[in-house]
Chain A
């Protein structure tokens, strides 16, 4: 493609070659660099799927209204001033079944501390969701989100890849902690201990 160059352009070619190789190197480094890695979160017990947002970097939780599985209207604004555990789930979601008893246990333990639990029932139907609630004796309400509109609003501020995802919202309505995937008793209680603590 390139015939041997005149002598006067050989130096230029060498410079160009170096520039191109450097460019290729940059592209390779950039594409190979691991993504993510923001300084706004710390992990709980070194588990990267359970995080605490550092004070001052807590994203504001979007407000929402919806219909609960029992047909009543629910607005997120009525939870202001409370620590809220918001669990995104679906009756079709296998890991949600695994964590259902854990959530019920943590909800029972933190009820005296004034922590409210609220479910967001994603891509589900009322009949199936209500059967799930009966099966696992879920004692807290869930807002139906068949269209994922509420989930989408939250996805703008925290990376919700799917269900289950559990967010802990502090008294000021900011997201203080998150568990991406199945919650464990120790992770969720560790986050709640921090958030419910004075000044948390």
Chain B
């Protein structure tokens, strides 16, 4: 978006000024009717103006703000529900504005697409113009080079034609694009009088500046396309995996699945993954005591159904690439294993139950056990898992995140879980509305201990615990293009900041009579477009010195180069 072009008069782009038509606007006087075509042209010109592009970019940034302030349907639907409950008047209006799903809202797409169109409308004509400017030659050398911002003058014994040839060689050696007088352009043809007036060299350098600018715009466009690619063809999914469990990457095995617009469950990578072992290490001494030092999840996976089993490691920020998807380790916790026997003596529940760590630290984790098929009544338990339990003033607290002294504290309920009808419930919440609390106070159990439920309702046994990990499975086809485009944008920006478009002219004239028989006055002039750093001054001085010494070297004995100008 950075427009490094000089805003007004631009000596490097005379064509643009010459042909500049007056900008028509709705209010422009004269010209009669302002038709539909004119309106469209006006709208297009407005859209592709830098001001509008910047406003759109700003709007895009502002548009993402509600996405981070308000709960989003895609990221946390439960929080949106909660918002409806707590703000019953406001929430429907926010929903109408799409503020609970900002990135899918029509107005967000409108900003996005307009910015897109604006960038295209800016870049395409610019590309044509750059292509044109790389084909066109530098302008002819001005007559009086001493009027230029930088100039130098010296005398050489070389004849003017040879001096110009030497200068051309030096300048082309520095990567300048050259223009020499054409055959008919020699003295007289251009109205310049005097012997040898036609011996000049015009040199230009720094086309990379505009190229860098273009690269920046193109890369920005590419960045938008990449993000769109990711949104349309990518997906993100979450899965909680208990140690020892296997899951196949299919919709029904995922806890959360956020597909892009063109993605269905059939597009998921078809891998299976088993969590063999998860270890979390913690610092056990000093100030950092209890801080995690390392996580390691050892997994076995197959990339295709029936494919060979491979082993791999997952750690935080060290994802595993499987069949085009990336699997990240994003969380972990403890899953105490419970075995529940009902009143009839049947084992109605025997499984590891993931508990989630609360905010209190040291992995004090909460969870729920639901036993819907226990007889005679459904059973439910709310529990707290304490990895390293210590009795602090009569209450159980966790003093270390590793499971050094695990204890589970349970409150039992019997009655109706509310699950035989109605909406799906969270597995981490127990609706106790239709249930009777079985014990007045929480019952603490160590591994292997059982709790007999009052009223002969059966027993619950805390048989042990296993760790679980939560995995994020992402596929973003726009990730690599976005990285490349981001780097290209940076490169383009650097080029357009660091490269200056600059011109150097050399004119060799036979010196005024009396100055010497073979004397030739060499005038060197230069100008740079933007030269904030002032480095062109140094570059010009070095060039002028080099030209002078080249002329001096060529001057004695035989001329180093042919006195004839090299063919154009």
Minimal Cβ-Cβ distance residue in A for B7: A3
Contact (A146, B349) CB under 8 Å given A2-B122, A94-B424: no
CB proximity of A49 to chain B, nearest CB, Å: 15
Residues of A within 8 A of B248 (CB): 147-149, 151-152
Query: Which residues 96-113 of A sit at the B interface, judged by CB distance below 8 A?
Result: 97-98
CB proximity of B240 to chain A, nearest CB, Å: 11
Contact (A155, B117) CB under 8 Å given A9-B125, A149-B305: no
**Contact B116 A155, beta carbon cutoff 8 Å:** no
Most buried by B among A2, A8, A132, A151: A2
Distance between Cα atoms of A98 and B422 in the complex (Å): 9
Residues of B within 8 A of A77 (CB): none
Cβ-neighbour of B251 out of A7, A134, A155 (below 8 A): A155
Residues of B within 8 A of A92 (CB): 370, 427
CB proximity of A163 to chain B, nearest CB, Å: 6
Residues of B within 8 A of A197 (CB): none
**Contact A152 B305, beta carbon cutoff 8 Å:** yes
Which one of A11-19, A68-76, A171-179, A186-194 contacts B? A11-19
Confirm or deny: B513 has a beta carbon within 8 angstroms of a beta carbon on chain A.
no
**Contact A128 B252, beta carbon cutoff 8 Å:** no
Interface string of B331-345 (1 = CB under 8 A from A): 000000001001000
Distance between Cα atoms of A132 and B372 in the complex (Å): 8
Residues of B within 8 A of A4 (CB): 20-21, 23, 45
Which one of B265-273, B316-324, B522-530 contacts A? B265-273
CB proximity of A144 to chain B, nearest CB, Å: 12
Residues of B within 8 A of A39 (CB): none
Interface string of B357-395 (1 = CB under 8 A from A): 000000000000011111100000000000000000000
Which one of B48-56, B434-442, B478-486 contacts A? B48-56
Confirm or deny: B65 has a beta carbon within 8 angstroms of a beta carbon on chain A.
no
Interface string of A106-147 (1 = CB under 8 A from B): 000000000000000011011110011011000000000011
Residues of B within 8 A of A28 (CB): 109, 113
Cβ-neighbour of A1 out of B49, B261, B420 (below 8 A): B49
**Contact A31 B41, beta carbon cutoff 8 Å:** no
Confirm or deny: A37 has a beta carbon within 8 angstroms of a beta carbon on chain B.
no
**Contact A131 B265, beta carbon cutoff 8 Å:** no
Confirm or deny: A199 has a beta carbon within 8 angstroms of a beta carbon on chain B.
no
Residues of A within 8 A of B44 (CB): 13-14, 17
Contact (A1, B116) CB under 8 Å given A134-B373, A151-B252, A159-B265: no
Confirm or deny: A55 has a beta carbon within 8 angstroms of a beta carbon on chain B.
no
**Contact B251 A162, beta carbon cutoff 8 Å:** yes
Minimal Cβ-Cβ distance residue in B for A6: B19
Cβ-neighbour of B252 out of A8, A98, A155 (below 8 A): A155
CB proximity of B119 to chain A, nearest CB, Å: 8
**Contact A16 B125, beta carbon cutoff 8 Å:** yes
Query: Which residues 241-274 of B sit at the A interface, judged by CB distance below 8 A?
Result: 245-253, 261-262, 264-266, 270, 272, 274
Interface string of B404-442 (1 = CB under 8 A from A): 000000000000000111111101000000000000000
Query: Which residues 102-141 of B sit at the A interface, judged by CB distance below 8 A?
Result: 109, 113, 116-118, 120-122, 124-126, 128
Query: Which residues 20-40 of A sit at the B interface, judged by CB distance below 8 A?
Result: 20-21, 24, 27-28, 31, 35
**Contact A162 B252, beta carbon cutoff 8 Å:** yes
Contact (A94, B265) CB under 8 Å given A155-B250, A160-B250: no
Residues of B within 8 A of A12 (CB): 125, 128
Distance between Cα atoms of A169 and B128 in the complex (Å): 61
Tally of contacts, chain A with chain B, CB under 8 A: 178
Residues of A within 8 A of B375 (CB): 135
Most buried by B among A88, A147, A153, A156: A147
Confirm or deny: B143 has a beta carbon within 8 angstroms of a beta carbon on chain A.
no
CB proximity of A19 to chain B, nearest CB, Å: 9
CB proximity of B106 to chain A, nearest CB, Å: 9
**Contact A131 B373, beta carbon cutoff 8 Å:** yes
Contact (A1, B40) CB under 8 Å given A24-B116, A31-B232, A131-B348: no
Residues of B within 8 A of A155 (CB): 250-252, 265-266
Residues of A within 8 A of B542 (CB): none
**Contact B305 A153, beta carbon cutoff 8 Å:** yes
**Contact A1 B53, beta carbon cutoff 8 Å:** yes
Distance between Cα atoms of A139 and B472 in the complex (Å): 38
Confirm or deny: B146 has a beta carbon within 8 angstroms of a beta carbon on chain A.
no
Interface string of B303-333 (1 = CB under 8 A from A): 0010000000000000000000000000000
**Contact A2 B48, beta carbon cutoff 8 Å:** yes
**Contact B350 A127, beta carbon cutoff 8 Å:** yes
**Contact A156 B266, beta carbon cutoff 8 Å:** yes
**Contact A7 B19, beta carbon cutoff 8 Å:** yes
Residues of A within 8 A of B249 (CB): 152
Distance between Cα atoms of A128 and B427 in the complex (Å): 14
CB proximity of B519 to chain A, nearest CB, Å: 45
Residues of B within 8 A of A162 (CB): 251-252
A-B contact pairs, 15 of them (CB 8 A): A1-B49, A6-B16, A6-B19, A10-B21, A14-B44, A94-B419, A125-B351, A126-B350, A128-B350, A131-B373, A148-B248, A151-B252, A152-B248, A159-B264, A160-B265
* 6 further A-B pairs in the complex, CB-CB below 8 A; given A148-B247, A151-B252: A3-B16, A5-B19, A28-B113, A127-B339, A162-B251, A162-B252
B-side residues, CB < 8 A to A, are 1, 3, 5, 15-16, 18-21, 23, 37, 40-41, 44-45, 48-50, 53, 109, 113, 116-118, 120-122, 124-126, 128, 217, 232, 245-253, 261-262, 264-266, 270, 272, 274, 305, 339, 342, 346-351, 370-375, 419-425, 427
Sort A-B residue pairs by CB-CB distance and give the 6 closest, nearest first: A131-B373, A148-B253, A6-B19, A152-B250, A152-B248, A1-B50
